[in-house]
Structure 1
């Protein structure tokens, strides 16, 4: 649980805060943290707020489609600080529906950036993704690592970064960009969340082997607890440099084998892995160099062992099994003719 004393400057002097995507997993935790700081928080989303979030002091809800610029302007008016979390967060959905993904992530972000300029917001924090880097060329990855995304999701998040950075350069938009690594914690939707921590625990707590696609030793990730991620975002709002990008992770490399061992230690019984190495597409090391974030005074407060223990307690015995799958390619559609086309 995040306390106000953990939040550095706590957005001092900025009382009106907007969180786009505040009904989502990360958004709900961030809204809760901001409410505890005494902020007036407007949640902008297309989904209804859970009752416990809607009942928090100072929280109001604004339904908006950020692909519509008029709706975006109305939703963001009066904001001192905007945390832009909204968009498609699924790489699989982006492979299956790339135009849908681009509209939500790139066009929506363009509208948010322009609205912040027009309305005079004092700070915009954009939550991007480590997926913009593509296949890692070195480990850990600094913010200067080449950006060559292999998923439409990564391309759309990078497009959002580029448009916001261009607005900073051309018009002075006060934006800070955070590239998120793998977030975990209570409240993830097992039908949508693809992060390994929650998935591993859910399989294990159901007394089943944990299915893993890829090389369990070469496939490593950087996991950060959702409460630490909220603290990192407030740190960016307070101390981040305009126009700059920061990796948001723990800086700790964990292999799939090590994660399974940690799950066993957290639950008191060994975890069994069911490894499938027929596909090695994501068997790489995705780990953040967090020195730039650390220079702002931030360090994670929740290590993996503590995070796993608290999450296992929150999930309880026999939680709902995860169903989210990772899809990297779809079949190429057959050539077709549009009605009235002169030639095919």
Structure 2
């Protein structure tokens, strides 16, 4: 019988790709959702559930009878994600979900963390070395979930793994995010007002991130792992690659917006631990192929 895993956030930006990969690996995948599903992943089972409701959580865990939990879901914020107080709501719900899962005999939890958990002072983020010293509510909530569930897993004799994505782009990206904003502006023939773009960031295509989270959930690894490329690219280069692919470079206005004063010049993942771990995963997309794939999706779904 196939091993069963619950994937929260399995209808979302990252989660859909994780569900596809886990189904392909032969897992029985249970996806709790409060949405109407019209384009679900073939082979996955979707159950109506509000993860913030205790009765719904208990019902989900009882019906799923799963040994694994891949927790990607996070409450959508009504304002900017990094500083939104709604992050605390999901901190509480995440701990309650993990506790209920372990109380029911669950054996493995995999968390989707964030590069926002790290202290960005040095720019290079190294698991088990770079301090977890977030300067946002979002990062603080993510770290708190990891610490809380780590203690619960130790008590329950279960394993915990955390994957940390960095900067993500790709199909289904929210229009307020950078690459989606630039793509849609240029497709409409409008100017895209951007900052100077000299910030160095570690960008990953969302399908690579989803596959990485699935691979971590399917493994027996414990601990913290970066799910990224390990390569720093200028934000400007991402923007100009989009402009080149669409053929409207004259519409990009670099320096038209002020870059936030507190933004660090460099944020990049050290990938040595992940690469040495034996994790059955590596990024497939280059910046060029990833941007092309993203543009194709937005054109098809204009």
Q: What range is the shorter-chain TM-score in?
A: 0.7 to 0.9
Query: 8 Å contact 2:121–2:264 — kept in the other structure?
Result: no
Q: Given the alignment, which residue of 240, 262, 274 partners 2:241?
A: 262
1:28-87 CA distance string (max 9 Å, x none): 2222333344433211123332x111xx43322223233333422321231132110111
Match status 1:249 vs 2:228: yes
Q: Given the alignment, which residue of 99, 103, 107 partners 2:89?
A: 103
- Identify the residue that residue 294 of structure 1 maps to in structure 2: 275
Alignment of 1:202-213 (within 5 A): 202-213=184-195
* 1:89 to partner: Cα distance: 5.4
- Identify the residue that residue 87 of structure 1 maps to in structure 2: 74
Cα 1:189–1:278 shift into 2, 3 Å: closer
- Identify the residue that residue 3 of structure 1 maps to in structure 2: none
Cα 1:249–1:111 shift into 2, 3 Å: same
Q: Compare CA radii of gyration and give the structure with the larger one.
A: 1
Alignment of 1:33-112 (within 5 A): 33-49=21-37, 51-53=38-40, 56-77=41-62, 78-88=65-75, 90=77, 92-93=80-81, 95-96=83-84, 98=85, 100-104=86-90, 106-112=91-97
After superposing on structure 2, the runs of 4+ consecutive aligned residues of structure 1 that deviate more than 4 Å are none
Query: 8 Å contact 1:179–1:245 — kept in the other structure?
Result: yes
Query: Quick one: distance in 2 between partners of 1:148 and 1:226?
Result: 25
Q: How many residues matched? A: 294
1:145-185 CA distance string (max 9 Å, x none): 11222221111111111101112333323111111212221
Cα root mean square deviation, aligned: 2.4
* Secondary structure of the structure 1 residue equivalent to 2:123: coil
1:227-253 CA distance string (max 9 Å, x none): 2112211221233522x0111111111
**Any gaps of 5 or more consecutive residues in structure 2?**
none
* Secondary structure of the structure 1 residue equivalent to 2:113: strand
Alignment of 1:106-185 (within 5 A): 106-134=91-119, 136-143=120-127, 144-185=129-170
**Any gaps of 5 or more consecutive residues in structure 1?**
1-12, 320-344
Query: 8 Å contact 2:17–2:211 — kept in the other structure?
Result: no
Query: 8 Å contact 1:124–1:174 — kept in the other structure?
Result: yes
* Secondary structure of the structure 2 residue equivalent to 1:246: strand
- Identify the residue that residue 22 of structure 1 maps to in structure 2: 10
Match status 1:238 vs 2:218: yes
1:303-323 CA distance string (max 9 Å, x none): 11100011112212894xxxx
TM-score normalized with structure 1 length: 0.77
* Secondary structure of the structure 1 residue equivalent to 2:125: coil
TM-score normalized with structure 2 length: 0.87
Cα 1:171–1:40 shift into 2, 3 Å: closer
* Secondary structure of the structure 2 residue equivalent to 1:137: coil
